[in-house]
Structure 1
Amino acid sequence: MELELQSLALRHPAARPNAAPALGPLNLRVVAGEQVAVIGPSGAGKTSLLLGLGCALRPAQGGLRLGGQDPWALPRPALQRLRGQLFLAPQTPPLPPRQRVVTAVLAGRLPQLGLWASLASLFHPRELPAAHQALAAFDLADKLFERVDRLSGGERQRVGLARALMAPARLWLIDEPLSALDPTRARQALDTLTGQARQRGVTLVASLHQVELALARFPRVMGLRQGQLVFDLPAADVTPAHLAALYAQHEHELQAAPPLPDGPPAAPPPPVMMQCR
């Protein structure tokens, strides 16, 4: 799905109507199937950008086009259909604690299900092989029937990401997907997301605090600071000077990840048995 922002400005969801925008105005274009990392200090507007792209935050000014359509000019049924083509993953997945993992993952299918099929899936989950495969991609196959409240924070985060593999979406908007993961799991999760997006032709926009991973795993990197676009460059062209300017007075954000391996990440140890719309 192609994205186009035309002088787009967004207010924080909790801001008053007359408050200054938290983001923008921004002008940029992302072509269909492109993969973009958004980096910057806390409070830069990264989450607001993803909410705006996900049609969860109405523009304060300017325009947004998704796949050639202005979402806020569409009738409500058409807007809902467009939202069904988007997958927005918040940093903390909204997973009910007593829910089974299989039900949580299959919730990614909800945009393509009718009301009765959605309700029936709560009691009799369908497409178990697909859910198992999505979880296996994040090394969680053994958690298929586990309760969400028995998972660690990192496991819950990976369950939220596994939903993307079930979603009938053309655009994945992923907010801080690695915050609860150790370095090895972070690399594996990011490799899975980027690899699956590439295989499916899905456009991927992800916000990250792990600067080295953003530069290593994404061909295009955008830097946001105080709601403004500081740079928009191929990852290979981002220099230490760009990062120093981006994170000035925010040095704690630049905690370097451990050195990246030259090849694919090492195989993990054997597991321990124990929407968007």
Structure 2
Amino acid sequence: MEIALEQLSARHPAARATQPAAVQDLSLRVAAGEQLAVIGPSGAGKTTLLQLMACAMPPSEGRLRLDGADPWTLPRDELRRLRGRLLLAPQVPPLPPRQRVVTAVLAGRLPAMGLWASLRSLLRPSDIPAAFAALERFDLGDKLFERVDRLSGGERQRVGLARTLLAPATAWLVDEPLSALDPTRARQAIRTLVEGARERRATLVATLHQVDVALAHFPRIVGLRDGRLAFDLPAAEVTRERLARLYDRFEHELQGGAPATPSPEPGAAVPPMLMCR
């Protein structure tokens, strides 16, 4: 899926009128099948950018185009079908605590299923081998029939990523997927996510606090600061000087000291994983 933002601005409905827009006058184009990492300090507008791309909130100014169509001008049924091609994965995956891991992973397929098939899948997993294969890519095959509430935070985050591999979406919009993972697991997880998107020819946009991981695994890097585009460059051209300017007064985040829990932007609500029908 091609994603194009044209002078886009957005303000959260819950934000005070005196607060600046979370995203301001942003123009960006992501080609179908491209892989892009978005970096920047806390409050830069990274989560809001993903919500805009996922049609989770409308822009206040400018225009969003998905495969050439403005989603906010489409009839309701067409907008629903378009949203079915989008996956918005939040930093903390919304996994019901008493649910089995196999069911949680196969839920990634629900947007492509009818009502009765969806209900049957929730009660009786329909493709256990597919769930196992997705989990194995994150070294979680042995957790297939565990309950979600018996997993560690890092394991739950990897289960959420495994679910992404089974989603029918053609655009994966992934928010801080490595926050609960140690460096070794983080590298493995992002490598698997990038490979999975490439295999599916899915567009991948991921926000990351781990700048070194972004530079190592993504060919294109977008830097956001105060809701505005700071740079849009090939990874090889992102210099230490550019990073120092981007993270000015936030040096602890550049050095890997970013908080492990979400830091919502002003007025932001934490979204669920969005795979709308």
State the TM-score, normalized to the length of structure 2. 0.91
State the SS of the aligned residue for 2:107.
helix
Q: Pairwise mapping of residues 33-72 of structure 1 onto structure 2 (< 5 A)? A: 33-72=33-72
Map of 1:190 onto structure 2: 190
Deviations 1:125-153 (A, max 9, x none): 10111111111111111111110000000
1: CA distance between counterparts of 2:173 and 2:239? 25
Residue 233 of structure 1 aligns to a residue in which SS? strand
What TM-score results when the alignment is normalised by the length of structure 1? 0.91
Letter in 1 for 2:56: A
Matched, 1:121 2:121: yes
Number of the residue aligned with 1:276: 275
In structure 2, the partner of 1:250 is 250
| Deviation of 1:112 (Å) | 0.4
- Spell out the pairing of 1:60-99 with structure 2 (5 A cutoff): 60-99=60-99
Return the structure number with greater relative CO, CA threshold 8 A, min gap 6.
2
Contact 2:209 2:256 in 1 (8 A): no
- C-alpha distance in 1 between matches for 2:19 and 2:190: 36
Cα-to-partner distance string for 1:153-201 (whole Å, 9 max, x where unaligned): 0000001111111101110000000000000000000000111111211
Structure 2 counterparts to residues 1-277 of structure 1, below 5 A: 1-12=1-12, 14-16=14-16, 20-256=20-256, 275-277=274-276
* CA–CA separation in structure 2 for the residues paired with 1:133 and 1:34: 24
Partner Cα distance (2:86, 2:71) in 1: 12
Deviations 1:33-57 (A, max 9, x none): 1100000000000000001101101
Structure 1 stretches of at least 4 aligned residues deviating more than 2 Å after TM superposition: 16-20
SS at match of 2:168: coil
Task: Give the Å deviation of 1:16.
Answer: 4.7
Partner secondary structure for residue 55 of structure 1? coil
Q: 3-state SS of the aligned residue for 1:126?
A: coil
Q: Post-superposition shift, 1:14?
A: 2.7
RMSD: 1.3
Offset at residue 80 of structure 1 (A) = 1.0
2:8–2:62 contact (8 Å) kept in structure 1: yes
Counting aligned pairs with the same residue, the percent is: 68
Compare 12-21 and 215-224 and name the one that shifted more: 12-21
The farther-off stretch of 122-131 and 14-23 is 14-23
Aligned residues: 260
Name the CA distance, whole Å, in 1 between partners of 2:237 and 2:77. Answer: 42
Q: Structure 2: how far apart are the matches of 1:56 and 1:85?
A: 13
Question: In structure 2, do the counterparts of structure 1 residues 13 and 90 end up closer, same or farther at CA, with 3 Å as the change threshold?
Answer: farther
What code does the residue aligned with 1:38 have?
Answer: V
For residues 56-106 of structure 1, the C-alpha deviation after alignment (integer angstroms, 9 at most, x for no partner) is 011111100011111111111111111111111100001111111111111
Paired residue type of 2:216: A
Aligned mates of 1:73, 1:57 — CA distance in 2: 13
CA drift at 1:205: 0.2
Secondary structure of the corresponding residue to residue 64 of structure 1: strand
The residue number in structure 2 matching 1:271 is: none
Report the Cα offset of residue 28 of structure 1.
1.2
- How far apart are the structure 1 equivalents of 2:130 and 2:18? 46
How far apart are residue 255 of structure 1 and its match?
Answer: 1.6
Alignment partners' CA distance in 2, 1:13 and 1:276: 22
Counterparts in 2 of 1:132 and 1:13: CA distance versus 1, 3 Å: farther
**Following TM superposition, by how much is the alpha carbon of 1:12 offset from its aligned partner in structure 2, in angstroms?**
2.7
Report the Cα offset of residue 256 of structure 1: 4.8
Contact 1:13 1:57 (8 Å CA) reproduced: no
Q: Cα offset for 1:18? A: 8.1
Q: CA deviation at 1:19?
A: 5.4
Matched residues in 2 for 1:118 and 1:200: separation? 23
